[in-house]
Amino acid sequence: MTPRLHDYVLSASCYKVRLMAALVGVRLDLVAVDFHPGREHKGPAFRALNPAGTLPVLETGELVLTESTAMLVWLAQGHPGWTGDGSRSAAAQVQQWLAFSARLAASLGMARLHDMLHFPADIDGCRLAGIDCLREVEAHLFEARLAGRLFLTGDRPTIADIACFPNVALAPDGGVGLEPYPGIRLWMRAIRSLPGFIEMPGIHRLHELRPAPERGAA
C-alpha cells in the first residue's frame, strides 16, 4: 500500500515529510486538505482520522501517524544513516534536534502563520523566540564546521536536519531574516544539494540562491 499523506502545500510540517520521502525514494499518495481558508482539518471527518485536528497525517496500512517527527522516523527505516550512525550518542543528538524542531515551529513557524495566514499570535514574542533559536543553530553549526562537519549531528544529513530545515528556511516569511547567519545559509545549501531534494513555495532551488557566504564575502 502506498503511504497516504494528508497534506497542505504551504505547511512546513507537511513539507518536511514530503522532502524526507523524496530523499529516500518513498512515493507518497498526497491528499490535499483545505487548511486555509476552509479549515477542513478541524471538521468532523478529518477529526475522525486525527482527533487533534492537525496536519500532516500519514496513513500506511493500519498505522496512522499524526506527528511529523514520527513520520520522519518511519520513513528513515531501512535507509542507513538517516537516524545516526547507530551509536547511543548519535541517537540522543538526533532526538535532541527533533525536540528542538518543535521550538522552531512554535516560534518561527507561528510567526509565519501570523504573517501569511493571519493566525492570532504574539508576533513580537514569536520573532524573538525564533531569533534565539536561530542563534543556537548558528553557534552549533559554527562549532560543527570547525570540526569538519556540515550537518547538525555529523558529516552526513539525518532526520534531525530535515526536521529543522523547513521552519528555518521559511523564517523570512514570518519577518525574521537569515542574513546574519552564514553558517545556517551554508547548511541550507548543503541540504538543497542533496540528491532528490524537492522544493516548496518559499524554498527555492539551489541555483536560484545568492552565492554561498564564502564567495559573497570574497
Q: Which helix (H) or strand (E) holds 7?
A: strand 4-7
- Residue 213: the pLDDT is 77
From the number of C-beta atoms within 10 Å of its C-beta (0-12, 13-18, 19+), residue 56 rates as: buried
- Residue 218: the pLDDT is 33
- Residue 216: the pLDDT is 42
Query: What kind of fold does domain 88-195 have according to CATH?
Result: Glutathione S-transferase Yfyf (Class Pi); Chain A, domain 2 (1.20.1050)
- Residue 205: the pLDDT is 81
Locate 177 and state its grid cell: 531574516
Is residue 5 a contact partner of residue 56, using CB atoms and an 8 Å limit?
yes
Is residue 104 a contact partner of residue 110, using CB atoms and an 8 Å limit?
no
- Residue 67: the pLDDT is 97
- Residue 203: the pLDDT is 94
- The C-alpha atoms of residue 43 and residue 5 are separated, in whole angstroms, by 17
Q: pLDDT tens per residue, the chain (218 residues)?
A: 899 999 999 999 999 999 999 999 999 999 999 998 878 898 998 999 999 999 999 999 889 999 999 999 999 999 999 999 989 999 999 999 999 999 999 999 999 999 999 999 999 999 999 999 999 999 999 999 999 999 999 999 999 999 999 999 999 999 999 999 999 999 999 999 999 999 999 998 877 777 777 644 43
Is residue 133 a contact partner of residue 104, using CB atoms and an 8 Å limit?
yes
* Domain regions of the chain by residue span: 4-76, 88-195
- The C-alpha atoms of residue 193 and residue 190 are separated, in whole angstroms, by 5
Q: What is the CATH number of domain 4-76?
A: 3.40.30.10
